[in-house]
């Protein structure tokens, strides 16, 4: 086989540990200058003005609420947007806070010795209306709590640091969810809506109440050097969820999650069809996932606005349910098409390939049973996998098959107790080439190298500037 099996389980675990070390060191450079410290960091834009949270009454004792301090700081600094913008530095300490909103031409910089703590006082989490492409909350029919760090209708916003931490203290919310005591949807850690030119980078996110990073209805987004950690049994703690977004770059990140490490979305059933905003031109690269009950990368299940032109490469998954999973159902409508995946290294997996046409969660009974999704142009190549239970479970929809599937150059080594039927295929059409074990009859052998686009997307060529903060840290 051309693509030789170069990696074993121990080597993959070591690579994940090394990646964590890379993320913790970040790309920031620190040097001492005249009793102050200058911290350099990469950003979309540098700011002319700078302030520290303590300038606005912030108290970093882990007990005092800083919600009003964050609001006062950002309100004040927002006035400087026309004059070169501003950055707010969160210095060393533990900064308890509820939800706060960002502003345009703004950088939130979280110091490596700073921890932003999500409060468990629900009165400090304002309620927002349901998302128009969803029609209801994901946890309950009502509205939703605002995310810890929230922004809407912004341009040029940066959330970064030299590996500072955001801790959502999610156990409070997970318990309420499991007990069925929620009337509104849990908050996320970071949500940016209707915005463009967004950067989220060089941070550690832990214990989110629900999803961690949720850009939605936005464009020109760079997400990099994130470490995201949640207990593997925590509910719905997705890592990064680009949702109805265009031109997004996700790279050099590590996620341990109770749900999908990355979940690509675009709206739910009739609401997503009506809103009609796809996710497209998405880059995912140099990404590592651990999620025993979910996917490294999920496409859907909320995909009613469409998902297209997704390019994923150099992906590592360890002790994860599946590599890339497509989730959809009758009533979703929309499409998942032009998907390209290459260079995946997988170890201890239930499935390597998984496509599901019967993911039957719906927002309400009003979905259209005639709204059938289109799944086509799915390309996987150059994949090695160890300790696998099932090679593939590919389930299309009766009278709506998933088509133009191409899988090439794949070497799967099975677990000690694999399932007898390794390729379970229904209502799918495509080809395979140089795949071990042999694929199902619906994906016959054909000498082919599956496609991966070589032309670059504009978001790949966005270069970050070297910016700095100065202070007595």
Residues with catalytic annotation?
259
Look up residue 100 and give its two tokens.
Answer: 């706060």
Furthest CA-CA distance within the chain? 72
Question: Which structure tokens are listed for 441?
Answer: 């009859």
Residue 314 tokens read as 């150099």
The 10 Å Cβ neighbour count of residue 340 is: 19
Q: How far apart are CA 349 and CA 386, in angstroms?
A: 8
Whether the CB-CB separation of 330 and 238 falls below 8 Å is answered with no
Residue 335 is classified by DSSP as E
Going by the DSSP 8-state scheme, the letter that residue 66 receives in this structure is -
Q: What angle do CA 71, 103, 222 make, to 5 degrees?
A: 125
The sign of the torsion formed by the CA atoms of 289, 292, 296, 300 equals: negative
Angstrom distance (rounded) from CA 161 to CA 193 = 21
Contact yes or no for 387/10 (Cβ under 8 A): no
Listed residue (282, 253, 331) closest to 460, CA to CA: 282
If 0-12 CB within 10 Å is exposed, 13-18 middle and 19+ buried, where does residue 421 land? exposed
The alpha carbon of residue 431 and the mean position of all alpha carbons in its chain are separated, in whole angstroms, by 30
- Angle at CA of residue 129, ends 124 and 131, nearest 5°: 120
Contact 315, 284 (CB under 8 A): yes
User: Cα dist. 284→41, 83, 460 in Å?
Assistant: 22, 35, 11
Measured distance CA(473)–CA(55) in Å, rounded: 14
Length of the chain: 473
Radius of gyration of the chain (CA): 22
Cα 361 to the chain's mean position, in Å?
21
Structure tokens at 433: 């080439």
Contacts of 417 (CB under 8 A, 6+ apart): 389
């Amino acid at each position: 086989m051309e693509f030789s099996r170069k990696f074993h389980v121990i080597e993959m675990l070591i690579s994940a540990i090394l990646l964590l070390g890379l993320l913790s060191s970040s790309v920031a450079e620190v040097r001492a200058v005249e009793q102050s410290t200058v911290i350099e960091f990469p950003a979309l834009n540098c700011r002319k003005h700078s302030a520290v949270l303590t300038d606005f009454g912030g108290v970093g004792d882990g007990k005092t609420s800083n919600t009003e301090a964050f609001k006062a700081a950002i309100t004040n600094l927002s006035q400087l947007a026309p004059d070169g913008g501003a950055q707010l530095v969160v210095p060393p300490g533990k900064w308890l806070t509820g939800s706060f909103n960002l502003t345009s031409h703004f950088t939130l910089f979280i110091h490596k010795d700073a921890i932003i703590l999500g409060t468990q006082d629900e009165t400090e989490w304002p309620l927002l209306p349901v998302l128009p492409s969803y029609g209801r909350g994901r946890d309950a029919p009502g509205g939703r709590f605002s995310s810890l760090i929230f922004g809407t209708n912004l341009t040029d916003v940066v959330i970064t640091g030299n590996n500072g931490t955001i801790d959502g203290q999610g156990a409070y919310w997970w318990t309420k969810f499991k007990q069925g005591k929620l009337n509104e949807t849990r908050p996320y850690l970071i949500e940016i809506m209707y915005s463009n030119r967004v950067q989220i980078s060089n941070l550690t996110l832990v214990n989110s109440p629900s999803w961690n990073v949720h850009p939605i209805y936005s464009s020109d987004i760079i997400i990099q050097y994130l470490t995201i950690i949640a207990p593997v049994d925590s509910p719905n703690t997705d890592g990064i969820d680009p949702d109805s977004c265009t031109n997004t770059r996700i790279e050099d990140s590590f996620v341990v999650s109770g749900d999908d490490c990355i979940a690509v979305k675009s709206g739910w059933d009739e609401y997503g069809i009506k809103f009609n905003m796809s996710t497209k031109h998405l880059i995912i690269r140099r990404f590592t996932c651990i999620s025993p009950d979910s996917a490294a990368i999920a496409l859907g299940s909320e995909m009613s606005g469409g998902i297209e032109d997704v390019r994923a490469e150099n992906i590592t998954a360890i002790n994860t349910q599946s590599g890339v999973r497509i989730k959809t159902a009758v009533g979703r409508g929309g499409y998942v098409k032009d998907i390209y995946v290459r260079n995946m290294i997988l170890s201890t997996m239930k499935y390597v390939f998984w496509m599901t046409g019967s993911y039957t969660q719906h927002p309400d009974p009003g979905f259209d049973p005639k709204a059938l999704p289109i799944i086509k142009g799915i390309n996987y190549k150059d994949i090695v996998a160890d300790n696998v239970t099932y090679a593939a479970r590919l389930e299309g929809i009766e009278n709506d098959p998933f088509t133009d599937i191409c899988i090439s150059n794949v070497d799967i080594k099975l677990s000690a107790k694999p399932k007898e039927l390794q390729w379970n295929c229904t209502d799918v059409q495509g080809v395979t080439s140089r795949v071990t074990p042999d694929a199902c009859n619906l994906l016959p052998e054909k000498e082919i190298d599956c496609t991966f686009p070589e032309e670059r997307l504009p978001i790949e060529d966005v270069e970050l500037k070297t910016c700095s903060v100065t202070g007595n840290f």
